[in-house]
A and B are shown apart, each in its own frame.
Chain A
Amino acid sequence: MRSNAADFEVIAPQNLKDALAILDAERGVYTPLAGGTELMVAFGAGRLAARRLMSLHLLKELRFLDVTAERVTIGAGVTFTDLRRHPVISADFNLLSHAASWTGSIANQNRATLGGNIVNASPAADSPPALLVYDADVTMASADGMRTIPNSEFHVGYKKTALRPQELLLSIHLKRNYGSYVSYIRKVGTRNAQAISKVAMAGLARLNGQVIEDIRLAGASLRDVPARLPETERALLERSVAHESLADTIARSRASLASGPLAPAPISDIRSTAGYRAAVAANLIDEFLRLLARS
């Protein structure tokens, strides 16, 4: 334990309105604290630079899950366990259920929030690839009101988000459009459970016969932000996964990964190497394409 708890101030507003008023009045002063599974690690290691925190745990307005016929709205304070237990998430957004099931351990899933995972903005985070292929939107709230942007515009750089200092992430929206899609997600970590991702790939595709009508691919640890692979998606659109065409389709997919400004550019770090990540990412996409061929 390398921090002195007495050195830290923590406020805990009782409702969202109060929280936003404080963030507005004192911009950049308070660092939001949700489940704590990220910030408390830093605290224990003596590396939590922020000395003034705002705990969000009392804000019931952040922990909800709304379902309509067309969409699901998930409050930023919803935990990974909440997601795993929700029948509509399991049925309609199973990539998000899967991602939740391998985020940390059960004990961490009981505290970690979807909002925290997104706002923390690690390129290795478990939930963003699923949210990206589902074309999620995110709503941010401030004392002035709310604004909603595509999730794909939320991560603007390494560990940087579109959140303004006076804003909190309020909710994530998913459209219930994917009943006819084939889905794929796989995380490659350092072991089978409780592992930080070395690379992960989420895929969602709609076939017309054996032709790819729509395809979304998103990876973790492939760039400095969680990101879709637009060049590969373009290369795969209208391609066939019929037996005689599959090899060609896979080859085009691989070619697209190798170049272009938005191609994967993974790094070597303490957990894995750039070469390994790039190769495995390509393999995971191939695995998805073979899955499409079989469905």
Chain B
Amino acid sequence: MITIKFEVNGCDRSVITPPLKRLLDVLREDLGLHGAKEGCGEGECGSCAVLLNGELVNSCLLPVLQVDGAALVTIEGLADAQELHPIQQCFLEQGGAQCGICTPGMILATHHLLARNPHPSLEEIREGLAGNLCRCTGYTRIFHAVEAASRRIAESA
């Protein structure tokens, strides 16, 4: 067992854990953060995605010892107190979430995309989200949500 210290959603956290434990399991079991989901355990579906030092990663493939000293953002860290992040608001308004299980990962992937490319084309949106599988929506409303979020973030800037 080792002690891993990292920042999650702006708060310092510390866990004592086997070094190879998946970050996904540490988030869900040790830290009580259930927003990241296990959809496949193979890094294919993106439901476990979180931001590690600002980069989108699949937490089911991350051994926790490699997270030591890092800053993580999970879905729980996106909203500001009780006000939704514009991406969350747009997913809600545009029908970007149906069953909701892919939604945390999808929203973080959107956040990652818009942080680097504030005005993505539809092609760029497709590419940016290609690592997040959704079975309910057929992606169409998700594209609308991302485009709306891009506009809304630009308006409030």
Contact A12 B55 (CB under 8 A): no
Determine whether A275 belongs to the interface, using a CB cutoff of 8 Å to chain B. Answer: no
Q: Flag the segment in B83-91, B96-104, B127-135, B145-153 that touches A.
A: B127-135
A211 to B17, CA, bound (A): 63
Contact A106 B62 (CB under 8 A): no
By beta carbon, the residue of chain B nearest A85 is B116
A101 CB to closest chain B CB (Å) equals 8
Contact B63 A106 (CB under 8 A): no
Contact residue range for chain B? Answer: 20 to 34
Contact B131 A107 (CB under 8 A): yes
By beta carbon, the residue of chain B nearest A2 is B41
Chain B contacts with A in 30-44, Cβ cutoff 8 A? 38, 41-44
Contact A12 B22 (CB under 8 A): no
Residues of chain B lying within 8 A (CB to CB) of residue A192: 130
Q: Of B63, B126, B132, which one neighbours A10 at CB under 8 angstroms? A: B63
Contact A5 B131 (CB under 8 A): no
| B20, B21, B62 pick with most chain A CB within 10 angstroms | B20
Asked whether A55 and B44 contact (CB < 8 A) given A40-B22, A104-B131, the answer is no
0/1 string, B42-58, CB within 8 A of A gives 1: 11101001001001111
Contact A108 B18 (CB under 8 A): no
Residues of chain B lying within 8 A (CB to CB) of residue A111: 57-58, 61-62
Interface size in chain A (residues, C-beta < 8 A): 29
Asked whether A104 and B43 contact (CB < 8 A) given A41-B61, A43-B20, A55-B63, the answer is yes
Which positions in A face B, CB cutoff 8 Å?
Answer: 1, 5-6, 8-10, 12, 33, 36-37, 40-41, 43-45, 53, 55, 57, 81, 104-108, 110-111, 192-194
8 smallest A-B Cβ distances: which pairs?
A: A105-B131, A193-B130, A5-B18, A10-B19, A5-B21, A44-B41, A40-B61, A8-B20
21 A-B contact pairs sorted by A residue (CB < 8 Å): A1-B22, A5-B20, A6-B18, A8-B20, A44-B42, A53-B20, A55-B19, A55-B65, A55-B66, A57-B65, A104-B131, A105-B44, A105-B46, A106-B56, A106-B112, A107-B56, A107-B58, A110-B56, A111-B62, A194-B130, A194-B131
Which positions in B face A, CB cutoff 8 Å?
Answer: 17-22, 25, 38, 41-44, 46, 49, 52, 55-58, 60-63, 65-66, 109, 112, 126-128, 130-132
